[in-house]
Structure 1
Amino acid sequence: MRLQDKVTLVTGAASGFGKGIAETYIAEGAKVAVVDLNGEGAENVAAELGRNAIAIRCDVSKAEDVQAAVDKTRDAFGRLDVVVNNAGWTNPNRPLMETDEETFRKIYDINVLSIFHMTKSCVPVWREQGGGVMLNVGSTAGIRPRPGLTWYNSSKGAVNLMTRSLAVELAPDKIRVCGIAPVMGVTGLLEQFMGVPDTPENREKFIATIPLGRLSQPRDIANAALYLASDEADFITGVILEVDGGRTI
């Protein structure tokens, strides 16, 4: 019970990494706000998790939605201790000149602007409470980029650097900010990242670039998010924890 009675909010929690994080947090004693643009999916996950979970529909690119999610979490559970900015999106893997401005803006709205909104909503709460934890799910794409995903890569580079800058500026407020950088994982965005159909043969080409020989799984990211949110990590801030099977070596 490493998160006993901690109140947490996880975005993009209706599936993939976010769902894995929510499940792990519940198992470790936390209360969880399951936040997702897919409201029905969030409701289903919250129902599976039980009485210590609530579902909130939220477009993380909109300030008013993010503020409402924070308010609803506090109304339900009385406080807010941990936020995981996990929601993300990418263009399909393709030559960079084929991505239009609308797609570029959507990438940045979901991957980067969402953290700006969450920071604006959470920092006043944490200053009042005397501390808090923000975890931002970046990517190995922001450290060792793959071709065909230039605009997504750059957004995750922004997330990684934003995380470190937030950490140093908010440290006097006892607010820890850490990042998690997963390698390509088995989620709904897998084919987008690959740019080709998800077949065993195509997967093998990408797995060959990962020294430990497999794609990431939600449990890998969830275990990292568990540690960084726990009191065991109370002297850790500003790190970008690579959960990548050695991809960035």
Structure 2
Amino acid sequence: MGRFDHRTVLVTGGTGGQGASHVRAFHAEGANVVIAGITEDRGRALAAELGERALSVRLDVTDEHAWTAAVTAAEERFGPLSVLVNNAGVQNPAAPIETTDQRVWNRILDINLTGTFLGIKAAVPSLRRNGGGVIVNIASTSGIGGTAFYAPYVAGKWAVRGLTKTAALELGRDDIRVNALHPGVIETPFITEPAAGSDTPISDFYSPEPYAIPRLGEPADITRALLFLSSDDAAFVTGSEFVIDGGLLLGPALKHDA
């Protein structure tokens, strides 16, 4: 028996480094998985790999009509949603605020913040039809501290925190729990490859050497926490924030004496 047998889980950004990890893990624990994203060929390939309990849907998270279509497709194939994972996100090219183009600002907030808002809005009726469920918003440690040269990304992730808590207050009596995960620097193409319009990956700005746990994170580090929050093991947890960063936000750790 898996923790998610007979449950339907929709993951946005479901073919990315973290997203694909989440999708595979939910599927391994018995869930019907809906792989939502804009890269259709990768979504179809992952669905084909996983088999009949997987469905790929094209989803631009900034498009409210696309959200409606994605939730409808999920329900028609598997029934109402049990879990929504708002995982889709993009990074802005590194730039100080004074040289950041407003079009960049708008795009980052449209995807990272408005996309999360629209996901909650679209999923709630389905979660209610299910008798309750879970929403997990993937935020960032940048939503707890500042990060120079990434103002659009930081602002959006800070806002996701408030959105998470508001949704938790509104939906708790519907037996819908809403929480946020704050990954640190996770070793995926999101970190190791430059954002569109940039020549420098985020990983160039970070060394894990000072962390209490001196390594970059792995997608599985986030996935394990996500599965906990999405399961009945976290039945009394809502409006909460979970930081998974190896100690990045703590500051430099003491060096170990050999």
Q: TM-score range by the shorter chain?
A: over 0.9
Q: Secondary structure at the match of 2:84?
A: strand
What whole-Å deviation, never above 9, does each CA across 1:36-56 have from its counterpart, x for those lacking one? 111111111111222211101
What whole-Å deviation, never above 9, does each CA across 1:85-106 have from its counterpart, x for those lacking one? 0000111222222221111111
TM-score by length of 2: 0.90
What whole-Å deviation, never above 9, does each CA across 1:45-76 have from its counterpart, x for those lacking one? 11122221110111001001111111100111
Aligned counterpart, 2:117: 116
Change in CA separation of 1:25 and 1:103 when aligned onto 2, cut-off 3 Å: same
Change in CA separation of 1:192 and 1:69 when aligned onto 2, cut-off 3 Å: same
Question: 1:38-57 alignment to 2 at 5 Å?
Answer: 38-57=39-58
Aligned counterpart, 2:36: 35
Question: 1:4-83 alignment to 2 at 5 Å?
Answer: 4-83=5-84
Q: Is the 8 A contact 1:73 1:80 kept in 2?
A: yes
Q: Secondary structure at the match of 1:242?
A: strand
CA distance in 1, matches of 2:29, 2:137: 20
Q: Secondary structure at the match of 2:189?
A: coil
Change in CA separation of 1:110 and 1:209 when aligned onto 2, cut-off 3 Å: farther
Letter in 1 for 2:60: D
2:117 aligned with 1:134: no
- Percent identical residues: 36
CA distance in 2, matches of 1:93, 1:20: 27
Tell me the CA shift for residue 151 of structure 1.
Answer: 1.6
CA distance in 2, matches of 1:199, 1:17: 16
CA distance in 1, matches of 2:200, 2:209: 17
CA distance in 2, matches of 1:30, 1:113: 27
Tell me the CA shift for residue 208 of structure 1.
Answer: 3.2
Tell me the CA shift for residue 211 of structure 1.
Answer: 2.3
TM-score by length of 1: 0.93
CA distance in 2, matches of 1:47, 1:215: 30
Q: Secondary structure at the match of 1:206?
A: coil
CA distance in 1, matches of 2:185, 2:17: 12
Q: Secondary structure at the match of 2:55?
A: strand
Aligned counterpart, 1:221: 222
Q: Secondary structure at the match of 2:18?
A: helix
Aligned counterpart, 1:153: 154
CA distance in 2, matches of 1:199, 1:19: 21
Q: Secondary structure at the match of 2:145?
A: coil
Structure 1 runs of 4+ aligned residues shifted over 4 Å read: 195-200
2:103 aligned with 1:102: yes
Change in CA separation of 1:170 and 1:216 when aligned onto 2, cut-off 3 Å: same
Instruction: State which drifts further: 102-111 or 122-131.
Output: 122-131
CA distance in 2, matches of 1:209, 1:86: 28
Tell me the CA shift for residue 248 of structure 1.
Answer: 2.0
The gaps in structure 1 that reach 5 residues or longer are none
CA distance in 1, matches of 2:201, 2:97: 21
Instruction: State which drifts further: 169-178 or 95-104.
Output: 95-104
What whole-Å deviation, never above 9, does each CA across 1:92-142 have from its counterpart, x for those lacking one? 222222221111111011101112211221112222332111010000000
CA distance in 2, matches of 1:137, 1:88: 9
Change in CA separation of 1:128 and 1:2 when aligned onto 2, cut-off 3 Å: closer
CA distance in 2, matches of 1:165, 1:53: 31
Number of positions where the alignment pairs a residue of Structure 1 with one of Structure 2: 246
Letter in 2 for 1:71: T
Q: Is the 8 A contact 2:80 2:129 kept in 1?
A: no
The gaps in structure 2 that reach 5 residues or longer are 251-258
Q: Secondary structure at the match of 2:248?
A: coil
